[in-house]
Amino acid sequence: MPAPLTEQTLRDARARKPAALREIYDDFAPGILGYLRSKGCDDPEALTQEVFLTLFSKLDTLKGGLRGARTFAFSVAHARMVDDVRRREREPVMAVFDPELDRREAESAEESVLGAVAGAEHLLEGLTQQQQEVLLLRVVADLSIEESAKIMGRSAGAVKQLQRRALGVLKNQLERKEVPDNERAS
């Protein structure tokens, strides 16, 4: 069991003698660490180190001898604990994402896009390969008529004509879908 601290130990610590600083640390640290742990601090060891950094930097100005040093150390520990509680109140608790527990029913963005592409593919089925190519380059790739013509190896006029015909076919397909089946039969 280490020898109890004396006022001489405190004077030596104020003189920055490593052995005296170590004795004070060894005597105070278990109580401070236990206090911080019992208060539920996130990292009580780190907070204990902060307490001693503060204590050792203020040794020269402390009053009350060893009792004053111990009281000051625990008041710093209390302040660090309060800071820790306040920090945790400000910061949201990060929950770990577990895909097995995710029961959302909404489709993902990827599923939405794939569904839209599937619907668009159905509309494109009534078009020739050249018409499909023009619409994909002009609408999906957002290319100009000249850029599309260069890629397809056609003239700008030919691309315009293919686009016009393709849009006409799509318009007719959509108009037929809007007319209910029982009206078409009459």
Residues 49-77: tens digit of each pLDDT = 999 999 999 999 999 999 999 999 999 99
Specify the higher pLDDT residue, 85 or 143.
Answer: 85
pTM of the predicted model as reported, rounded to 2 decimal places: 0.50
Neighbour-count burial for 128-166, b at 16+ CB within 10 Å, e otherwise: eeebbbbbebbeeeebebeebbeeeebeeeebbebbeeb
- The predicted structure's pLDDT at residue 91: 81
Q: Where are the domains of the chain?
A: 7-90, 110-177
Fold category of 7-90 in CATH: Rna Polymerase Sigma Factor; Chain: A (1.10.1740)
> Which residue type does 72 have?
F
Please determine, for residue 95, whether its predicted confidence score (pLDDT) is greater than 90. Answer: no
* CATH of the structural domain 110-177, one choice from 3.40.50.2000, 1.10.10.10, 1.10.3720.10, 3.40.50.720: 1.10.10.10
User: What is the torsional sign of CA 169, 174, 179, 185?
Assistant: positive
Q: Which two tokens stand for residue 134?
A: 């023009």
| Alpha-carbon gap, residue 125 to 115, rounded angstroms | 16
Whether 70 and 52 have beta carbons less than 8 Å apart is answered as: no
What's residue 172's pLDDT? 87
The pLDDT of 159-172, averaged and rounded, is 91
Task: Give me the pLDDT at residue 88, please.
Answer: 87
Do 110 and 117 meet the contact criterion of CB atoms below 8 Å apart? Answer: no
pLDDT digits over 110-154, tens only?
Answer: 666 556 556 666 677 788 889 888 887 888 777 899 988 998 999
**Contact assessment for residue 167 and residue 138, using Cβ atoms and an 8 Å cutoff:** no
23-47: per-residue pLDDT in tens? Answer: 999 999 999 999 999 888 989 999 9
Concatenate the DSSP letters of all residues of 83-152 into one string: HHHHHHHHSPPPPPP-GGG----SPPHHHHHHHHHHHHHHHHTTS-HHHHHHHIIIIIS---HHHHHHHH
